[in-house]
Structure 1
Amino acid sequence: MKLISPILRGVAVLAVLPAAFSQTTEEDNDVIELAEFTVDADLATGYRATTSLTATGIGAKIMDTPIAINVLTEDFMKDTATTELREALQFVPGVGTSPRNESEFTLRGFSGNISYRNGQYRRQNYTSWNAQRVEVLKGPAAIFFGTVRPGGAINYVTTRPKLGESFTDVQAAVGSEDYYKAGFFTNVPVGDNLAFRFGAGGLDSLGKAMFDYRKESYLGASMLWAITPNQQLIVDLETVHRNNYMQSSRGYAVSHSDYLFNPAVPAGMTVRAWLDSQGRTDEPTYNIYAPIFGADDPYGRFYGYSEDSFEKFISRTVDVEYLARIGDSLVWQTQLNYGYDEQPGMRSNYGDTTPFADGTVNLAFERWNNIRDSYNAKTKLTWRYHLGETSHTLQAGYEFQDVIFNKPGYYDPASQRYNGSLRGVDIIGFDPSSDPQPSGEATIQASGQTFDITRKITETNEAYFIVNQSRFFDERLHALYGARNNMLSRKVAYTRPVTNADSGLGSPEGWTPQYGALFKPRPDLSFFAVYSESIEPNYAIDADGNTALPIETEGMDFGIKSELLDGRLAGTFTYYTLDRGNVAARDTDREIATGNSPYYIFGNTSSSEGIELELNMAPTDNLQLVFGWSHMFEAEVTESTDPARIGQALNYTPDDKVSVWSRYSFDTGSLKGLTVGLGGRYSAAARMTGDPNRVMVEPSFYVMDLMLSYNPKIFGQEVRTQLNVKNLFDNDYREGPQGMFGPPRSIILSMSTRF
């Protein structure tokens, strides 16, 4: 029932549009095919895709769209043995990832809610189960995604059933550190117009690090029904459960080089207190990673604070899409989505970052749970028409989203405050180099805290959008222009009164425009420019319940796209600028002084400026190469209510990142049938975070990966046999805003076939 009213509102508005424009429609309109609203792996050639759904919601040619778009194909994800989408996205210029958390993506220096599944917002569980491709849309997507973060959007598209085909894909893999993975997908046609796809899989793995483990299960089903030649219904169901060791309970301790192991520091005095006592009040609190874990593991690459730290991800998704073609030039599309995400976990919550001078820490643990229900409805009309010698594709739509975020917490009777997690009793003077690991669960039970209060946040987003894509001068000039009216509201309720209630402010409302143009001096070369604005809620809520004004962003892209040498040399080169205003930055000075967190400095403007190069090359039929490079000229705070913040770096923004992946297939001689893949990544040194109290620099690093595949026949059945070695040279490296270590070397042998 929650989705019925939004659909009716969308129907009422859109139903009048065809009549309003009917006088200008010509009889020779281009015919719209329903297939344009989906993508097919068969349309991609190896690592190269020529169309994208994410940019416009209809299968548009990347060369004709004035937006920077990267697509990771199914072949690429198979060759790189992608389990989490993070592993594939590491090869996209401008995208940052973190070993700590698969959902901590950054785009052009900005993190946040930027990930989607089939165009619907997805909070977590970005796995490769049933993923057909990953599309990365760069820049603020004002029209199609509304309140998305300004760096862009990441959308992964799932594999749909195929009409008239019956087959089953089976895969099994084993690897180092007790890695086991298996799964299957089967396509079942029923007559000529109906098909089902079912899939299931599981993963069980340990790891080289202490207490490391990961267990995962997947179950999915989908249906494609071609009701008539002009009507289509798609239903997609999925559930993913994962349980793994909480990476935040691994040591990534930070300290100060003049403080750590300094016998002159009084026992129990913190870094900040000692620096202040020395008159060094303006000096950052932390400037080094603390080597406190013993000779065998001095920086905590493999160390774990407690065996019972964990993190679970539970997600369930229901997608329904209805398409109806009205005549040759008009298509009605309605998409419905329900998503459920739950994330319980336990981790060490401050001892892993603040060791004392003697190397000991005061360790504590926290337990939390985040529960989200989301309801989405989107109704859209797509109309293709001609005006004289020009052709156009007009899209108008209405979108509704309701996200209900329930966060159980602990009610402190003394202060009457809401706390979003259970805080265990402190373990004083814990020595990671010699003391046995404590039980985090025991410290929480000893605290006497229980989940006895819940904060419920209901965020409602309604939007109307209209966008036109026009083609002039024999389709040499392409234009994209439109706007979106965002109307957001936010309500907060607690199950009992609290003194630090969230005020519920900061919900934006207003229009966000987007304009772009692309010129093709020749069919295989494009020059493009695009300007866009975006608006988003400010989710920064401080310890006293205060929030900030909505965040507003302006962005511009200028670039070149190519499909030279009959498409053998395809790529995009882009220059971009982004300015994001009303940003909240953590006020760690106040947090240290009060003992409460979080606190924020409001009213900052963060800016990024850079260039990106993506090349997809196939010099011969046997060789394919993907190359990416991003360089940031600027990634810092440019305006602030606190002058000391101006010039501060954004979270983990290396100046340069380079990635390359190639494969070569032998088709003659004794090696015929063998395919070799080799690739790697390089990242320049970077600040761990923009926090002025944490100025550690993560060193530059490179990582190499290797792949070998062969397709022998076993009992008459062709079987793809593949060996992947990730982090080939077992390099130590830190990555992401927490300075977490990247995964050590792993070896995976997989076999797959189709029956």
Structure 2
Amino acid sequence: MESILSPILHPTAFGNPKSRADRTAPFPTKSMKQYSSLLGAILAFAPVSLLAQTAPQAAAPKTDSTQEETIELPAFTVSDQLANRYRATDTMSAARIRSSILDTPVSINVITQDFIQDIGATSILDASRYFAGISAGRLSGTNGISDRHLSRGFENSGRTVDNMSTAYQAQINPELIERVEIVKGPNAILAPTGSPGGSLNVITKSPSFKPSYSVIGEVGRYSANKATVDLTGPITDALAYRIVSSYLDSDTFVHGGNIKSFDFNPSVLYKIGKNTTLKVKANYVDWEAHGNAAVPGGIGISYLVPVGSHVSGNRPSQRAAGTTYDGWGMQPDWALRKDKVKAIAAELVTAITDSINMRVAASTNTDSFMEDDIYTGGGNYGGNFYDPYTGIYTPLLKWSLDTTTGNYVPTTVPWSDPRKTDVSADRTIAEYDDTMFQHDFAGRWSLNGVTVSPIAGWMYQNRHGTNWERQKYLGQYDALKFPRDPLPHPARSEYDNKDTDITETKKLLQFYAYTQLGFLDDRVLTTLGWSRIRVDNKTVDHNNNDSVATLKGPHDTYAASLLVKVTPNASLYYGYSANAQATDAGRGAPPRWRDGKQHEFGVKSEFLDKRISASAAYFRINQNNVSTPNPLRQLDPSQPGTLYQDITNNGIELEIVGGITKDLSVIASYTSMHYRDTLGRRVRNVPDEMSNLLLNYQIDKQWSVFAGLQHTGDMAAETAPTSPTPLGVVKQVAYYTEPFTIVNAGGSFRWNRLRVTLDIENVLDTKALYQASGAGAVVAYPSINPKLTVRYEF
């Protein structure tokens, strides 16, 4: 036993990188009851799994075609075999069971572990942006939160991990990832209340009975300086373990920023019998962003820039006074965004009969979050700085009604003095517990030439926690002074301006059933599905006399598809899918459901022994009941104050993924879409066009090189105000970011058990703006960043 665990018990290349007296143990004693209850819930199904061991073996096909015959059972895991290092042929995220991507009537991308390692990805977005329809949102990427991204224009803040929903801000360590599956459009099984643009499912590494021990070191200009160990192997013939652990201490591109992170991820796999496995995974993450990295707001746009213009990263005159390209903000050294996560998940998979598989899974996590930073005031913003007749922003003109003439007239107002910037400290503390249970059944039969593949199940989630936020006015400071004046750090008791103080509970119960029917030897596949979700939310506002707000009610969504395999390697398909979000209708009324619905038409094909795939898709996503202030209310008080309208995005996506030859791999994508808000305006951070290309060439068994190109079209640099002008005119977007193209390159060298990889991000040192939060905060694209990764297996 000790020889098996010696890399764990006696580490030589990796130890505790930093002693932290205040570091909490990954699973404190006081929490063991919670985690024991979770495992107990899973093991309660053990008698069913043990009975399954005596189930009859799969029967041989019967000669009478009118009789039912058993065929291959569906699986709740994906294959570890790849057609190409960048191309997987199967997925489990469409319906939580393994299915061929070619036979799935929806656009799905799989990011492989090989691709993540080849490009030296430090966040999921580094890899996902090469695929169609994926772009950066607010606080995305390496210095971002929650693995946030945009999928088909809709922001997705969060991801599922091994099919379990997560909401914490700490990002997933790429070294923990086995693969990432991106499902485009609403997904009622994976994300029943998620974004209508798509879902991101991270599948983490699992224990292996084949011993493997790796040590990884990474250094770079920024977003690097990380050490990792990855250890896996058998403990007994039926029990295997895995431990993945990393420590990161790195400066960020944002000036004066630093990120520290430690994660420890043990897991075990137990083969209960021939047809039953139990997998348990635990995670501990301690993630911190310091200084300007705590709130990487970026560059302010100068009031001298003509309204309606496109702003660029290489024009200093367009930046607000006191900001530089690397985002030098006013955040003090004590600014901190911190997230500590303790989680455990268990999954039992068994064959109940020779026709039915069952999956039982449960997870629980505790998320302790704190944000301690400042925000600044100033600038000529607000409704009075919009021309009432045109809706155009006028930063130096303030409009008011001349009661004599009845006309609106402007008054020249100088821009606020940046040397007298109002500064307030802001502190947020949130504590949440999140528990989830899932129970699925999947089967497969063939009767009279028709294949029947149903999956049905239920899910329950309970999220409970508190959120506390306070402010403290610090005074006026000089925003132009370098270095910044030191700012006092108030004690918690000194925060006197109450903002948020709530306790909330969010419960979600779901039942679902989906069935796929296959005709003509599965050359024609049709799917019908139904999902019912029921929310039961309660929020107690302690700032408002402990007032209680509730949100409770059920809702149904549906899915349908038709797929025709015109050849064994080509499919035509149509798919309809939907999910829904509950919104407050007020006065204790049932929820107003915001449905996300997608119609998608597409073609998929495979070539060269499935080594490469090509696909094309047209999609139309509609989300209803999006609230918008009624512009007519300004002219007619009898009109309703709020309208509930639809927003729509439609577009096309083209993709090629895989091996052109055995040595040359490619990822190429193109996206063209048209996403506008309910008032017809561009949506912040959403480009109309994107195109990407990556080529990797394996020169020989030792050397490989790659080059990548990412092009992003222009984007709205702010979300225009939703309220109209006093004359009912829609307010317009003030600024846009220019299109930009980023070039990445690198290569790797292998020698026996050693692999050395050099990745250079933004080789041409292109200066561009993206990830806008508003006109006062547009993030600069990071400058050239070489990174060296050394990976040794022993």
Bin for the TM-score computed over the shorter chain: 0.7 to 0.9
- The equivalent of 2:121 in structure 1 is 82
- The equivalent of 2:607 in structure 1 is 564
- The equivalent of 1:461 in structure 2 is 508
- The equivalent of 1:677 in structure 2 is 706
Equivalent AA in structure 1 for residue 358 of structure 2: W
Q: Find the aligned partners of 1:326 and 1:243 in 2 and give their Cα distance.
A: 45
* 1:292 and 2:292 are equivalent in the alignment: no
After alignment, is 139-148 or 56-65 more displaced? 139-148
Q: 1:724 to 1:440 in 2, by over 3 A?
A: same
Q: 1:615 to 1:363 in 2, by over 3 A?
A: same
- The equivalent of 2:470 in structure 1 is 422
Q: Find the aligned partners of 2:254 and 2:588 in 1 and give their Cα distance.
A: 39
- The equivalent of 1:484 in structure 2 is 531
* SS of 2:694 mapped into structure 1: strand
Q: Find the aligned partners of 2:99 and 2:578 in 1 and give their Cα distance.
A: 22
Q: Find the aligned partners of 1:105 and 1:358 in 2 and give their Cα distance.
A: 35
Match of 2:693 among 660, 684, 690: 660
Q: 1:711 to 1:525 in 2, by over 3 A?
A: same
1:435-493 Cα shifts (integer Å, max 9, x gaps): 64245553676954388984111111111100011111111111121100111111112
- The equivalent of 2:4 in structure 1 is none
Written as runs of structure 1 = structure 2, the 5 A alignment for 1:453-602 is: 454-494=501-541, 496=542, 498=544, 501=547, 503-505=549-551, 507-538=552-583, 549-584=592-627
Match of 1:315 among 328, 341, 362: 341
Tell me the CA shift for residue 184 of structure 1.
Answer: 0.8
Equivalent AA in structure 1 for residue 528 of structure 2: Y
1:303-352 Cα shifts (integer Å, max 9, x gaps): 44322222112222211001110222111110101122232112333438
* 1:228 and 2:287 are equivalent in the alignment: no
* SS of 1:129 mapped into structure 2: helix
* SS of 1:442 mapped into structure 2: coil
1:706-738 Cα shifts (integer Å, max 9, x gaps): 11100124xxxx200111111112222121242
After alignment, is 675-684 or 168-177 more displaced? 168-177
- Kept in 2, the 8 Å contact 1:535–1:550? The answer is yes
Q: 1:4 to 1:503 in 2, by over 3 A?
A: farther
- The equivalent of 2:665 in structure 1 is 624
Tell me the CA shift for residue 148 of structure 1.
Answer: 1.6
Q: 1:314 to 1:547 in 2, by over 3 A?
A: farther
Q: 1:539 to 1:619 in 2, by over 3 A?
A: farther
- Kept in 2, the 8 Å contact 1:109–1:651? The answer is no
Equivalent AA in structure 1 for residue 113 of structure 2: E
Q: Find the aligned partners of 2:788 and 2:327 in 1 and give their Cα distance.
A: 25
- The equivalent of 1:274 in structure 2 is none
Equivalent AA in structure 2 for residue 616 of structure 1: V
- Kept in 2, the 8 Å contact 1:3–1:376? The answer is no
- The equivalent of 2:200 in structure 1 is 154
Equivalent AA in structure 2 for residue 363 of structure 1: V
Equivalent AA in structure 2 for residue 675 of structure 1: S
* SS of 1:425 mapped into structure 2: strand
- The equivalent of 1:118 in structure 2 is 162
After alignment, is 348-357 or 174-183 more displaced? 348-357
After alignment, is 150-159 or 731-740 more displaced? 731-740
Q: Find the aligned partners of 2:498 and 2:80 in 1 and give their Cα distance.
A: 47
Match of 1:395 among 426, 436, 455: 455
Tell me the CA shift for residue 371 of structure 1.
Answer: 2.5
What is the TM-score when the length of structure 1 is the normalising length? 0.82
Structure 2 residue runs without a partner (length 5+): 1-33, 47-54, 56-64, 382-414, 634-640, 722-730
Q: 1:334 to 1:308 in 2, by over 3 A?
A: same
* SS of 1:88 mapped into structure 2: helix
After alignment, is 390-399 or 201-210 more displaced? 201-210
Q: Find the aligned partners of 2:376 and 2:310 in 1 and give their Cα distance.
A: 14
Q: Find the aligned partners of 1:209 and 1:700 in 2 and give their Cα distance.
A: 21
1:395-419 Cα shifts (integer Å, max 9, x gaps): 11011011113102xxxxxxxxxxx
* 1:128 and 2:169 are equivalent in the alignment: no
Tell me the CA shift for residue 80 of structure 1.
Answer: 1.2
1:112-132 Cα shifts (integer Å, max 9, x gaps): 455110011122323313101
Written as runs of structure 1 = structure 2, the 5 A alignment for 1:35-54 is: 36-43=75-82, 45-54=84-93
What is the RMSD computed on CA atoms of the aligned residues?
3.5
Tell me the CA shift for residue 299 of structure 1.
Answer: 5.3
Equivalent AA in structure 2 for residue 687 of structure 1: A
Equivalent AA in structure 1 for residue 698 of structure 2: S
Equivalent AA in structure 2 for residue 648 of structure 1: R
- The equivalent of 1:416 in structure 2 is none
Q: Find the aligned partners of 2:223 and 2:280 in 1 and give their Cα distance.
A: 36
* 1:707 and 2:746 are equivalent in the alignment: yes
- Kept in 2, the 8 Å contact 1:538–1:551? The answer is yes
Tell me the CA shift for residue 290 of structure 1.
Answer: 5.8
Structure 1 residue runs without a partner (length 5+): 12-17, 19-23, 260-282, 409-420, 591-599, 639-645
Equivalent AA in structure 1 for residue 782 of structure 2: P
- Kept in 1, the 8 Å contact 2:758–2:787? The answer is yes
Q: 1:185 to 1:403 in 2, by over 3 A?
A: same
Tell me the CA shift for residue 167 of structure 1.
Answer: 1.9
- The equivalent of 2:432 in structure 1 is 372
Tell me the CA shift for residue 434 of structure 1.
Answer: 2.1
1:541-592 Cα shifts (integer Å, max 9, x gaps): 9xx999972312221111111102332430221111111112246999x9xx
Q: 1:616 to 1:251 in 2, by over 3 A?
A: closer
- Kept in 2, the 8 Å contact 1:424–1:440? The answer is no
Equivalent AA in structure 1 for residue 716 of structure 2: R
Q: Find the aligned partners of 2:585 and 2:758 in 1 and give their Cα distance.
A: 45
Q: Find the aligned partners of 1:545 and 1:444 in 2 and give their Cα distance.
A: 38
- The equivalent of 1:593 in structure 2 is none
Q: 1:287 to 1:196 in 2, by over 3 A?
A: closer
Q: Find the aligned partners of 1:350 and 1:585 in 2 and give their Cα distance.
A: 28
* SS of 2:444 mapped into structure 1: strand
- Kept in 1, the 8 Å contact 2:525–2:564? The answer is yes
* 1:725 and 2:760 are equivalent in the alignment: yes
Q: 1:178 to 1:490 in 2, by over 3 A?
A: closer
Q: Find the aligned partners of 1:353 and 1:523 in 2 and give their Cα distance.
A: 62
Identity %: 22
Written as runs of structure 1 = structure 2, the 5 A alignment for 1:350-365 is: 350-351=376-377, 356-360=415-419, 361-365=421-425
1:199-220 Cα shifts (integer Å, max 9, x gaps): 2111111135421111111101
* 1:166 and 2:211 are equivalent in the alignment: yes
Q: Find the aligned partners of 1:729 and 1:540 in 2 and give their Cα distance.
A: 51
Kindly tell me the number of residue pairs found equivalent between the two proteins: 675
What is the TM-score when the length of structure 2 is the normalising length? 0.78
* SS of 2:610 mapped into structure 1: coil
* SS of 2:550 mapped into structure 1: coil
Tell me the CA shift for residue 601 of structure 1.
Answer: 5.5
Written as runs of structure 1 = structure 2, the 5 A alignment for 1:7-18 is: none
Q: Find the aligned partners of 1:202 and 1:537 in 2 and give their Cα distance.
A: 39
* 1:181 and 2:222 are equivalent in the alignment: no
Tell me the CA shift for residue 38 of structure 1.
Answer: 1.6
- The equivalent of 1:745 in structure 2 is 784
Q: 1:366 to 1:587 in 2, by over 3 A?
A: farther
Tell me the CA shift for residue 538 of structure 1.
Answer: 2.6
Tell me the CA shift for residue 109 of structure 1.
Answer: 1.4
* 1:432 and 2:479 are equivalent in the alignment: yes
Q: Find the aligned partners of 1:293 and 1:88 in 2 and give their Cα distance.
A: 34
Q: Find the aligned partners of 2:175 and 2:205 in 1 and give their Cα distance.
A: 10
Equivalent AA in structure 2 for residue 292 of structure 1: A
- Kept in 1, the 8 Å contact 2:68–2:447? The answer is no
- Kept in 2, the 8 Å contact 1:318–1:338? The answer is yes
- Kept in 1, the 8 Å contact 2:138–2:772? The answer is no
